[in-house]
Amino acid sequence: MEKKPEEVVLDAIAIQKIVPHRYPFLLVDKIIELVPMKRIVGIKNVTQNEPFFLGHFPGHPIMPGVLIIEAMAQTGGVMLLNTQENPGDKLVYFTGIEHAKFRKPVRPGDQLRIEMQMIKFRAPICKMAGQTLVDGQLVCEAELSAALVDRE
């Protein structure tokens, strides 16, 4: 039986077993596609209740671009940590951003589709390319670098 792309591969509980992030900084709700060390697709539902909307901007809520990039980094981190035997013993340190572009604002009610692809992995460093879409339209793109490190 072929799996539909919208099926959940990892739900919020499974994600929390892989990455250390928690509310209000966990920015991935579910993973719907995962090809280990090659490709991952995550979903983030953006609601009016997000704490950052209180100040960004009152009366005109827009998700900060840096948090869209962080959602991309966390989704990529799930791909990287999911291959580790004991993901709780590791952390993914975000080490760089290149070619970041913000194409459209993200507002309450939007659903982010975060697509990340591994470009290069030479332990402990990796580079990923990603794009974030809302309703099929590109809202953000970037190349992200990270280091896989032991948790102290």
What's the pLDDT at 152? 84
- The answer to whether residue 123 sits within a structural domain is yes
Q: What is the pTM of this model?
A: 0.94
Residue 40 lies in a domain: yes
Residue 6: inside a domain:
no
Angle (CA) 104 143 87, round 5° = 110
In a domain, 64, yes or no: yes
Provide the CATH number for the domain around residue 33. Answer: 3.10.129.10
How many independent structural domains does the chain possess? Answer: 1
Q: Give domain status of residue 137, yes or no.
A: yes
Binned average pLDDT, 10 residues per bin, the chain of 152 residues: 68 95 96 97 97 96 98 97 91 96 98 98 96 98 97 88
Q: Please give the residue range of the domain that contains residue 144.
A: 12-150
Mind telling me the catalytic residues?
56
Residue 5 counted as domain residue: no
